[in-house]
Structure 1
Amino acid sequence: MLNGHGGNIKQICNTYGLNPDEIIDFSASINPLGYPEVVRKEVFEQFNDILNYPESRCTDLRESIARKISCNKSNVIIGNGSNELFYLIPRALKPERGVLLHPTFGEFKDSFSNSNINVVEIINDDKDFPLINNNISRLKSVDDCMVFLCNPNNPTGQLTRKEDIIELVNDNPNRLIVIDEAFMDFVEDDGKYSVIKNAPLMDNLIVVRSLTKFYGFPGLRLGYLVANESIVNKLLQYKEPWTVNTMAQVAGIAAINDEEFAANTRKYISSEKTFLYNGLKGLNSIQPFQPTVNFILVRIEDCRTTSSEIQNCLMKNNILIRNCSNFVGLDERFFRVAVKTREQNMKLLSALELIIGDTATKENNRKDSAPEFVTG
């Protein structure tokens, strides 16, 4: 079984003896259009800057982000991917306890554990996995804590309205809410859901975003958080210097200013996620969740088939998906696929159709060949 994060292509290819260049990776939800061309141009033009130490506070990138979301650069911290920031927050702010609503991004629990923070885990038992809407009272029942939430949620894709998050933030000033908006750039009408512009004005809200998923350069590692200046200053006391390299900073500035690329991406994802969702919906024995971003959670309805079996069969077709059985609250009935190009999406659908049909045929053959026992 291939668990852990998506995108572990090198490790998987070494294990299975495959060629990385031939793998279609549906396990990592990265922009299928790749990175903006301006990123390549700016990185090449400024490549000789690697002769010097990177700018420790990432001032230029912070200013670019601040302009984009209408806040001050003193409200922004840049990280070596959003993951660095998830570990920094509990380490620096030392909450009495952490709260998680599962299923959600696995690094949240690890970040709490790494700082020796006790974790209250709430399992979302609604079959449609709404993030907060049906669980806000359960979250409110825990005082004096730090809550990590994904919006849109990973791996389910469900969105939570801005007003529901703000209600939770306002309910208790001693409850710090950390919102992971890693995939928010992919969301249509994101103004209905994002609280990133609220964060600088509130005492108990932090918003974390990734720059590498939407802009297609996860190998560079780049993310940022937005909060009020008091929280930012506390976090900076614990943040290591020089964690963000020069090329990542250059790439980030170039990417976030490329509005044409952003518009083209949202248009492309809107079309392809609908195509892939409809294709998955047309297959027997599986039920995809309505997508809001560039990935789709799929539930296996046929109890004879597991996500591990489907994953291993797809590997024979050089297709990698995300087995979701290691997410708390999910099991071997769930897998996740990224939205890719039309050609790649069609290959996935064709392979799944054959695999699901083949699994059902084998099971029926086993039943037909089973001996009959006569009693009486």
Structure 2
Amino acid sequence: MTDSATHKQQGAHGGEIFRIAREAGATPDTIADFSSNANSLCQDLTEEILFSDPQGAYSDYNHYPDTWAVELTTAIAEHEAVSHDEIIVGHGSTEIIFLTFQQIKPKKVLLIGPMFSEYEKACAVFAQEHDVLTCTSDTNFTPDPADLAKSGEYDLVVLCCPNNPATVTYPDMQKLLQAIHSPYILIDSTYREFLHGTPEYAATESSLYKSWCNSGTSLITIHSFTKFFYCTGVRLGYAVSDADTISHLQQGKMPWTVTASAQKAGIKFLENIANYRERLPALFAYRKEFTDAVRSTDVFASDAIFNGVNYLFCRLKNPELGAQFYEYLLNRNILVRLCDNIPGTEKGFIRMQVKTPTEWAPLIAALHEWAATV
């Protein structure tokens, strides 16, 4: 890869494989991408759904998509055990994020960091002011309920649970939600499905969150098909809230944002969700192996190697060398996520997706090489 400063800049997201390859004069298949959190261990399941029936996904190419994705909404409502009018489907969770801000029009927003960068972008577009409450590694990235006591100053409070990139599933969400006095709370639940089979799964249900919120607070939970079903290119997400809030969001939604093929794929994903869940034990076994391999390189602070649902979040022993570390790996055709530009994140953290031992072997070798140079 060329030694160009242009392609060595960490963008707003992980998974920017096309930009990285284009600016490096390479092809995407020559770069080992550890910067995305999509569930790549289920690639074969997703390919079967998307490509086994050539006429299935695209058979409605000559009709406008159903703006309200009624069939998919019905399937999601059954999956979430809520009514049809408590669901809105969008072109990925990002559309739902911006639609929520557009319709709520919050003047002041509190983001509980670390936080997905699109929330800060939405604040810049639709809010007059926003604050980021940074939760640090020495508190396991968990806010103190006392720090949320001033939440009445905010029109919208945003949390991510399980948190990306900070890995934590908040251990006492009831106390956190009861400490928030705001007309709207948004909880990003993108990674919840990875918790299936654990006690945390039942403790992160939208209905349970709703019961913990204070009177007068409307709760919105955002969900994505992207990560768990390994379909980043399909662009499909949804929100769960009370019927009045969903109706308000629908009033501002552009028509036809969710393609007919994405709607059909979403239905198929939910029909086959048990097959995806069966892969979770293997994923967690790989995660442990990957963690041990990463720890053996001695690149990261021993007390700052955290397990996310399908990724690791690790702070370099030399946090100030984050940009150089990112470039070092990129010059070896390995892409990781430098998290310095994620709102509310401590400097020097790197996020790396869990893959198979064969796939991570070059990364581990590169980490050993890096350790020998610093």
Calculate the TM-score normalised by the size of structure 2. 0.88
Task: Indicate the residue corresponding to 2:269 in structure 1.
Answer: 255
Give 3-state SS (helix, strand or coil) of 1:107's partner: helix
Task: Indicate the residue corresponding to 1:62 in structure 2.
Answer: 73
Task: Indicate the residue corresponding to 1:296 in structure 2.
Answer: 312
State the 1:16 CA deviation. 1.6
Give 3-state SS (helix, strand or coil) of 2:326's partner: helix
Q: Is 1:159 paired with 2:144?
A: no
Deviations 1:130-173 (A, max 9, x none): 233xx221122120521111111111111113xx3334434456
Aligned pairs (5 A) from 1:1-376: 1-33=9-41, 34=43, 35-36=45-46, 37-41=48-52, 44-132=55-143, 135-143=144-152, 144-161=154-171, 164-171=172-179, 174-188=182-196, 189=198, 190-198=200-208, 203-287=217-301, 288-302=304-318, 306-330=321-345, 332-357=347-372, 359-360=373-374
Matches of 2:173 and 2:234, distance apart in 1: 31
Change (3 A) 1:321 1:172: closer
Larger-Rg structure: 1
Give 3-state SS (helix, strand or coil) of 1:50's partner: coil
Give 3-state SS (helix, strand or coil) of 1:60's partner: helix
Give 3-state SS (helix, strand or coil) of 1:326's partner: coil
Matches of 1:18 and 1:228, distance apart in 2: 47
Greater shift, 240-249 or 251-260, is seen at 251-260
Q: Unaligned stretches of 5+ in structure 1?
A: 361-376
Change (3 A) 1:198 1:41: farther
- C-alpha contact (below 8 Å) 1:104/1:150 kept by paired residues: yes
State the 1:191 CA deviation. 2.4
- C-alpha contact (below 8 Å) 2:96/2:222 kept by paired residues: yes
Change (3 A) 1:294 1:125: closer
Matches of 1:166 and 1:26, distance apart in 2: 34
Matches of 1:284 and 1:250, distance apart in 2: 46
Give 3-state SS (helix, strand or coil) of 2:323's partner: helix
Matches of 1:125 and 1:339, distance apart in 2: 23
- C-alpha contact (below 8 Å) 2:38/2:230 kept by paired residues: yes
Give 3-state SS (helix, strand or coil) of 2:207's partner: coil
- C-alpha contact (below 8 Å) 2:300/2:317 kept by paired residues: yes
Give 3-state SS (helix, strand or coil) of 1:160's partner: coil
Change (3 A) 1:175 1:166: farther
Deviations 1:86-105 (A, max 9, x none): 11112111234110122221
- C-alpha contact (below 8 Å) 1:300/1:333 kept by paired residues: yes
How many residues are aligned here? Answer: 354
Matches of 1:173 and 1:123, distance apart in 2: 19
- C-alpha contact (below 8 Å) 1:3/1:322 kept by paired residues: no
State the 1:192 CA deviation. 4.5
- C-alpha contact (below 8 Å) 1:186/1:269 kept by paired residues: no
Task: Indicate the residue corresponding to 1:364 in structure 2.
Answer: none
Deviations 1:52-107 (A, max 9, x none): 10011001111111111211111100010001111111211123411012222111
Deviations 1:29-57 (A, max 9, x none): 11112253223335642422111100110
State the 1:179 CA deviation. 0.5
Matches of 2:11 and 2:86, distance apart in 1: 36
Change (3 A) 1:200 1:70: farther
State the 1:297 CA deviation. 0.8
